[in-house]
Structure 1
Amino acid sequence: MGRPPSNGGPSFRFMQNEVTEMDAILQEHNNTMPAREVLVSLAEKFSESPDRKGNIQVQMKQVWNWFQNRRYAIRAKSNKTPMKLNITPMPRDDLVAARGLSQQVAAPIPGAVPATTPASSAAGAGRATSENSYMEFEAKSARDGAWYDVGTFLSHRYLDKGEPEVLVRFAGFGPDEDEWLNVCRQVRQRSLPCEASECVAVLPGDLILCFQEGKDQALYFDAHVLDAQRRRHDVRGCRCRFLVRYDHDQSESPQSCVPQEIVPLRKICRRPETDYRLLQLHAANDLAANDQKETSVDPSTANAQRVAASALETTQQQQHNSDVAMAVLASQANVSQPVKTL
């Protein structure tokens, strides 16, 4: 693991033939992360290609990050209902109970707990959850400060100060990359990739997870949104741009030198805490649609009403003309005819 440079150097890019090969492998694995051996083999193969040999050494983590980013993008596109969330926060009661354990030394978790578990098994009383909802986590590596999906929680322990730690195996990595991480500061609910319609939920001041591409590798880092430039969407999706400031270099650089970048929505993963904004937006849109439906008249109904009114007006006019004609005839019948004389 290594932190990508922030010196403005050229970003690492996979070639089109490499992307095609990785796409095929991802489809074969049904959009799940391939085994570490597959990632290592791909990195070695790409490094030995004629275009890269002797120039660029492709790292396994670069391959891993490509798969992770593509899986995020596919998952965002497949989520057709924005209201349906695939992450459920851990109930406070369960969190308190977990922190209240009295064990002070490392204790293995029986069978190792996978990081993706049905949310219904952890949902508190009275909390409604979707049958397909899952609780997923990400963890911040102490080696490079980047965030990775958690594959398995292997063990847990408590430090002298009472702070809980967990032994994490990152998704797609082997035992050599396992780390002990602080539960409160380095483990959290997984960030959510943004759909094109969800750019409205990303606001200045927000904490986000941003995909930073460097010369040697590309990783996910914490960042804050400084500004949002809203643009009209088109067939390509969201065209908005966001000015972000990465957090991982702030301790090493003056505030004026903190790395900033303008990024598209596809590089941003929002925090689950912003879900309420989408819920409010959908509720407001539904209310406006209902109000418009109640106040507007169906076009076909309005046309029928206009035809009926016209027919009624014509009938009334015809009746009026008939009445006038009858009155004239009656008046003529009552007038005495003059007597003809010879």
Structure 2
Amino acid sequence: MTSRSNRLTSVLSDNRVGLLLLIIVLVVLIGSLKPMFFSPAFVIGPMLTSIAIFTVVGLAQMVVLSVGQMNLAVGGMAAIGAMGSAIVFQAFDVPLIVGIAVGLVVGGAVGALCGVLIAYAGVNSFVVTLAMSFALLGLVPAVYSWVSTGNAITVQTPGLAELGRSKLSDLCIGDTCGPDGVPLILFVAVAAMIVIGLLFSKARIGREILLTGSSDRAALLSAIPVPRRIITVHTLSGMLAALAGFMLGASTGSFTPGIGQEFMLQSFLGPILGGTLLAGGYVSVIGTFLGITITVVIRQGLLLFGVGIEGLNILLGTILLIALSADRIRSVAGARSRLRASRQQSPAKSKEEAVVS
């Protein structure tokens, strides 16, 4: 009974369980008040598309948070990565997979540059990524205006429209088709979650990254190449941001300089609500997905109730402030708990030494 009670307590105290229950309550509440919420074509499909894109954006921020740093250029990396894919599609008519790979390489290269400056020049990640964000804010529109007269690139590559806008209901075996409202692009996000989840849970490099986030000094003493791990997470962040930018371009049918403009807030909301520590050392892929899901559900519900974009931004900003405060409270409480434990152990050790002497 005691072991079952402990397991139940552990499950209920899990942040992800609370998020899942809250999502279920919100879906039932909004759906009961606004039955339109359950429309596969007009609500469920677009909402799942947004969840897929923002989940990848959240993962892009999460991997950098794993070492206690941040990426304020996640939107710009998404824009330049998507632009790289669009340019090779337009200029060289490459296959879909090649264009995606080029975009990932471009985004990863920008991320790697940030990582090198942070790791070897000793500049704070906030300063480096903020500067990169402003640089990309000017560079991306300039390149678009140079390569495209309409300041946008419309791509007709085979498979792109199907990936970005098709649903499972479009895939049929005989007379049996998939469920309506589930976009194919959602599986791109699932694949990214699996890869990142396996990286942190099974791969040695993932454990080294988390140890670097917990204590870079301890990581150095453990012969972990801390500078290289910092470069690794920023490179990975750039690649994931580029993937999210490509997904957004594919879902809308065109690639524009505006890709990534709304990524900043979502990139922090997902991981922080999901339990990823700002100080580094702990990440949650499932939590990031659930954190993104709850913000998208809230946003869609408010839109159905006629709340404007201003009210939506106020609410999302408030949620982020609450999440940041909760993260700080958890950190302080954990530090005090460890301090009390060390103080309790010290008298016991003194008594043992006195008995021995």
Q: Name the TM-score, length of structure 2 as normaliser.
A: 0.28
Larger radius of gyration: 1
Larger relative helix fraction: 2
Larger relative strand fraction: 1
